[in-house]
Amino acid sequence: MSERARRPTVKEVAVRAGVSPMTVSRTLSGGLNVKPDVQQRVMEAVAELGYHRNENARSIRPGHSSGLIGVAITNIANPYYSTFALGVEEEAALTGRRILLGNTSEDAAREADLVGDFLGRRVDGLIVVPAGTTSAHLAHSQNQGVPVVLASRRIDGLAADSVVLADDDGAHRGTSSLLDRGHTRIGYLGNALSIFTGGRRYAGFVRALEERGLTVDPQLVATNQQTVDQAREATRTLLDAEHPPTAIFCANNRNAIGALKEISAQLGDGTRAPADFPEIVSFDDFELAELSPVPISVIDHDPRELGRTAARLLLDRLDGGERETPPRAIELPVSLRGVR
pLDDT, one tens digit per residue, over 261-317 is 999 999 988 888 999 999 999 999 999 999 999 999 999 999 999 999 999 999 999
Q: What is the pLDDT of residues 224-233, one digit of tens each?
A: 999 999 999 9
Q: Yes or no: say if 208 and 175 are a contact pair by the CB < 8 Å rule.
A: yes
The span from the CA of 4 to the CA of 315, in Å, is 12
pLDDT at 144 over 50: yes
Which residue did the predictor score with more confidence, 46 or 160?
160
Which ranges of 132-183 would DSSP assign to H, the alpha helix?
A: 136-143, 167-180
Polymer length of the chain:
340
Res 161 pLDDT > 70: yes
The pLDDT of residue 325 is 86
pLDDT in tens, 302-332: 999 999 999 999 999 998 766 678 999 999 9
> What are the contacts of 111-114 at 24+ separation with CB within 8 A?
111/72, 111/137, 112/136, 112/137, 114/70, 114/72
Q: What is the reported pLDDT for 53? A: 56
Model confidence at 6: pLDDT above 60: no
Q: What is the DSSP string of 227-260?
A: SHHHHHHHHHHHHTSSS--SEEEESSHHHHHHHH
- In this structure, are residues 149 and 316 in contact, taking their beta carbons and an 8 Å threshold? no
pTM, two decimals, is 0.79
Tens-digit pLDDT profile for residues 54-97: 443 444 444 557 899 999 999 998 999 999 999 999 999 999 99
The better pLDDT of the pair 208, 3 is held by 208
